[in-house]
Structure 1
């Protein structure tokens, strides 16, 4: 099984999901998304797999969200995805992709549904 985790090692929730995967015997491909941001295409694919709108994947409490006026309802989905690509701190974490599906690991047990 091919499993990816978009991971931030400084985030306790992200570390918790990684431990959960390892406890399941899963060797996930770890993508430190702050160092290697997902492409616009990858973000679009993740959002589709999650079945949400782009704003649902955004950390709205990050300073970048407010500084860049990303709460503007007139911004398109493409605008929001581009913002997450350029400012990956805006991306909610952790995200696990497996079996053609995706899950946000908040709570960590959410990822079990796609394994």
Structure 2
């Protein structure tokens, strides 16, 4: 079975839908509840590199700490951003999924489909009643 990891917040609807989609594919991921088990700063930086995005792209701008800490300032270094995430793990956006096909912040939840090394999947109904159709497009395919 392929190794899949999800950095998950069980209180987040998108994160719950992504986890359910992975399981809908017949896969059981390693679930990292990053608010209770925050990843180390090197791991966070590695996730951004693997996803091919700047570290700033993994920040959750809607969190109060984002504004309070002045994280919108584009002059802040990655070290400063990592310091903030280390002190306030809620600043890490979710869900981040790692599979053999790649790493991505899966927002919207159906973005996880291109990372799943199986498929196409039968239709899936998200918690809000929206149906997700898998067109079989995968990274590297």
- TM bracket, shorter-chain basis: over 0.9
Give 4+ residue runs of structure 1 displaced > 4 Å after superposition: none
Aligned pairs for 1:28-107 within 5 A? 28-99=29-100, 101-107=102-108
Question: What secondary structure is seen at the aligned counterpart in 1 of 2:7?
Answer: strand
Instruction: Give me the whole-angstrom Cα distance separating, in 2, the residues matched to 1:104 and 1:33.
Output: 14
| Higher RCO (CA 8 Å, separation ≥ 6 residues) | 1
Between the two proteins, the alignment pairs up a number of residues equal to 115
User: 2:12 aligns to what?
Assistant: 11
For residue 85 of structure 1, report the CA deviation from its aligned partner. 2.2
Instruction: Give me the whole-angstrom Cα distance separating, in 2, the residues matched to 1:78 and 1:110.
Output: 28
- Normalised by the length of structure 2, the TM-score is 0.77
For residue 82 of structure 1, report the CA deviation from its aligned partner. 2.3
Question: What secondary structure is seen at the aligned counterpart in 1 of 2:37?
Answer: coil
- Normalised by the length of structure 1, the TM-score is 0.94
Root mean square deviation, CA, Å: 1.2
Larger Rg: 2
Q: Any conservation in 2 of the 1:70–1:80 contact (CA below 8 Å)?
A: yes
User: 2:113 aligns to what?
Assistant: 112
